Structure 1
Amino acid sequence: MKSIIFLCAIFLTLVSVLSEVQTNYHDAIGIPTANRIKALEEAIQANRNITIENRIIGGELAPLNEYPFFAGLIISLVGTPDPGVCGASLLSPNRLVTAAHCNFDGIRLAHEFTVVLGSNMLFYGGERIVSRKVIMHPNYRHQFFINDIAMIYLPRNAKITNIVKPIRLPNYLESWKQFLGFQARSVGFGVTTDGHTLVNPDSLLKHITLQVVDNSQCQLKNDLNRPNYDILCTSGYGGVGLCHGDSGGPLYTIDETSTDKSIFLIGINSYKYGPTCTGGTGYTRVTSYMHFIALHLNN
């Protein structure tokens, strides 16, 4: 009897924690976020100044050529005319990596992706390539954001310029690092800090600096059933953090040992815990999926 009570207590605790982690991404977050971004960009195109909420909280305007690897994703979904939105990282002229839940969140399945490169806006500007080939990790589990990674195949090469170019992956030595305590940056479509600032019509793409924290901290605040070694966590303390609508986007850090201070990808935005944007963020740890990525980069 005591064993049954103990197991029930564990189950209820897990359910309570998981209830704080959004699983029906597109209906709850992706579609509403896409609608808000589209309305905002239409207003900007019409030269109207408006005030909107943050998506990257505490973020700063991102120069167009500083993040040439970032791609916005406009996602056509089966069963609804409304698109969803995610981010992705360009790894080669015709391959990108994103979160698997951008393709299938357990309810909504993507029909096609419009990949937007070289633009600070999502619905206007840049190079746009439509893809219908997305390969999710074979062991992806949407219920717990396990193996939340997917590769996007482009039907043609993107034009590589100073504002469109791939980000590098961790090298052999970097692949063994845990990155604990590292300063890392994330990029996504959002606005400035407080929700009361007029939007700059030249840029909607934002960046934010976060600190990589111990996985145990992230697991206490996120999914208790998440494997330890396949996630990477950042702190949301101090009034900064990412909102749910930045799913699939990059987390990267700087190679301080290189002469050119090159940047490389270490995480893919996977999930948030709780209703606010300033909590911790869980990322798919890139170094745990180098084989999966290499398989599709070289295919």
Structure 2
Amino acid sequence: MRCHNLFLCLFIFFHTSECKSVENSPVYGYHLRVGVPEARRIAVKETLRGARIVGGSQVTAATVIPYQVGIIAALTGGASSVCGGSLISTTRVLTAAHCWFDGQTRATQFTIVLGSVTIFSGGTRLTTSDVTMHPNWNYYLNDIAYVKISAVTLSNTIQLIALPTTAEASRSFEGLDGLISGFGKTSDAQTTFPTSTALHQTTVSVITNAVCQNSFKVTIDSSHVCTSGTGGKGTCDGDSGGPLTVLLNNKRILIGVVSFGPSEGCQASSPSVFTRVTSFLTWINSNL
């Protein structure tokens, strides 16, 4: 993940040292580097029937993770990119800010896919350009955005995921089992078509930010939450914006939005990094 456009970096940051931080940003250039190739790969494979999350299993029915959203991002120039998201109200989807603008390429429209285990076929499909990135997004921090959609009808395949309550906002969630899901790659070696293109899921353990920091040169902030990569489990290319949920008090809640992973690869047994939802509850709730 490198900065190939020096002029853009200088324009944004005005001096070379700050451009250096953009060069190392895990989300800069996401669409052209990751999203577009993933979209092409998934689209072709789905015509053969049948993708992702490293170390996980295929989701066989949309009823299993009914809050999962697939996002097809139409980009300037005509290409398509892919991301994930979470349905938090009948008119709002939560995703990563870099799914709309990654610092290099901006989306012009999202196709929101609900109630489907495949992203390019099936389910309820809505288009929108009403996307609001967090105003303080800066490549490393505040990687969160909400998407306004036409009101959807809930069903056994389309359900909301609960947000943490105010009382739960101070929790670190350390040690809890987290559930991650997405349409992204299932291995680093996956340059050709995977064995399936269905939504995948896996269970990972939430770890402390201090432990997480040991695997990254960039600062792991209090507004991040991390999961262990033990056993080669974690998020991968194409999973950006998707959900990290935990079961708390017999209720599944959304605690993270997929942001970035280790530069050494998805199967390196290194942590995955998410935007911590509890750090943005006020912002999210004010826009519901």
- TM-score computed with the length of structure 1 as normaliser: 0.82
Structure 2 vs 1, CA of residues 105 and 190 (structure 1 numbering), >3 Å: closer, same or farther? closer
Contact 2:22–2:28 (Cα < 8 Å) also in 1: no
Contact 1:232–1:285 (Cα < 8 Å) also in 2: yes
> How does 1:80-229 map onto structure 2 within 5 Å?
80-142=77-139, 144=140, 146-154=141-149, 156-190=150-184, 199=195, 204-226=198-220, 228-229=221-222
1:171 Cα deviation from its structure 2 partner: 1.2
Which deviates more, 280-289 or 213-222? 213-222
- % identical equivalent positions: 36
Output the amino acid matched with 1:21.
P
Gaps of 5+ in 2: 1-15
Structure 2 vs 1, CA of residues 198 and 35 (structure 1 numbering), >3 Å: closer, same or farther? closer
Gaps of 5+ in 1: 1-10, 46-53
1:18 Cα deviation from its structure 2 partner: 6.2
Q: 2: CA distance between counterparts of 1:198 and 1:109?
A: 28
Structure 2 vs 1, CA of residues 120 and 71 (structure 1 numbering), >3 Å: closer, same or farther? same
User: Which residue, 37, 45, 52 being the options, matches 1:32?
Assistant: 37
Contact 1:267–1:285 (Cα < 8 Å) also in 2: yes
Structure 2 vs 1, CA of residues 177 and 38 (structure 1 numbering), >3 Å: closer, same or farther? same
Aligned pairs, number: 267
Question: Any idea what the Cα deviations from partners look like across 1:109-160, whole Å, max 9, x if unmatched?
Answer: 0100000000011110000000110001111112x2x100000001x21121
1:15 Cα deviation from its structure 2 partner: 5.1
- Runs ≥4 residues deviating over 6 A: 191-198
Question: Any idea what the Cα deviations from partners look like across 1:4-49, whole Å, max 9, x if unmatched?
Answer: xxxxxxx99x95996373521001101111111101101227xxxx
Query: Which of the pair is proportionally richer in helix?
Result: 1
Match of 1:67 in 2: 65
Match of 1:3 in 2: none
Match of 2:252 in 1: 263
Output the amino acid matched with 1:219.
Q
Q: 2: CA distance between counterparts of 1:178 and 1:98?
A: 21
Contact 1:117–1:128 (Cα < 8 Å) also in 2: yes
Output the amino acid matched with 1:174.
E
> How does 1:280-295 map onto structure 2 within 5 Å?
280-295=271-286
